[in-house]
Amino acid sequence: MSILKEFKQFLLRGNVVDLAVGVVVGAAFGSVVTALVKDLLTPLIAAVARVPDFSDLSFTIRGSQFMYGDFLNAIISFLLVAAAIFFFVVKPINLLVKRARQEPPADPTTKKCPECLSEIPISAKRCSHCAQPVA
């Protein structure tokens, strides 16, 4: 088998194509989530906290400046992205999967005795509790 045929076979395997599609869709979805956080959620927090950006926050020790504001921005951004993914992707998909997995109720395997109301097998001709005939 030639190297080009092997390479073509490798590229056309289902899992390689699926992975490529997943990466492309993931990158596109990442930009949507980033835009949601940057354009909607961060300004909302800035409106509430009245501080739109923490990057200027810092402190100095012995002439070394520690810019902890960028770190705060990164943490807030991460938490917002995680929250956006959880509430706008994970929860709705879990709800859809739960609805799709609902199985129809199983056929009953027992019935109630009309005399003593005990649970007995469906095929029983007499109640095992009160010995009454069951139709």
The pLDDT, as a whole number, for residue 11 is: 72
Instruction: Compute how many other C-beta atoms are within 10 angstroms of the C-beta atom of residue 80.
Output: 20
Domain spans of the chain, in order of start: 3-101, 106-135
Is residue 62 over pLDDT 90? yes
| Model pLDDT for residues 92-135, shown as the tens digit of each residue | 988 988 887 877 777 888 999 988 888 999 888 888 888 888 87
Tell me how far CA of residue 117 lies from CA of 2, 22, 109, 131, in angstroms. 76, 57, 15, 12
Mean pLDDT (the chain) is 83
The pLDDT, as a whole number, for residue 14 is: 67
Query: Which two tokens mark 21?
Result: 């599609």
Is residue 52 over pLDDT 80? no
Whole-angstrom Cα Rg for the chain: 31
Under 8 Å between Cβ of 80 and 46: no
| Model pLDDT for residues 28-48, shown as the tens digit of each residue | 888 887 787 778 877 887 788
Which pTM value belongs to this model?
A: 0.49
Please tell me the CATH code under which domain 3-101 is placed.
Answer: 1.10.1200.120
What pLDDT band is residue 1 in, cutting at 50, 70 and 90?
Answer: low
Q: Which of 19-23, 27-31, 52-56, 64-68 has the highest mean pLDDT?
A: 64-68
The pLDDT, as a whole number, for residue 5 is: 86
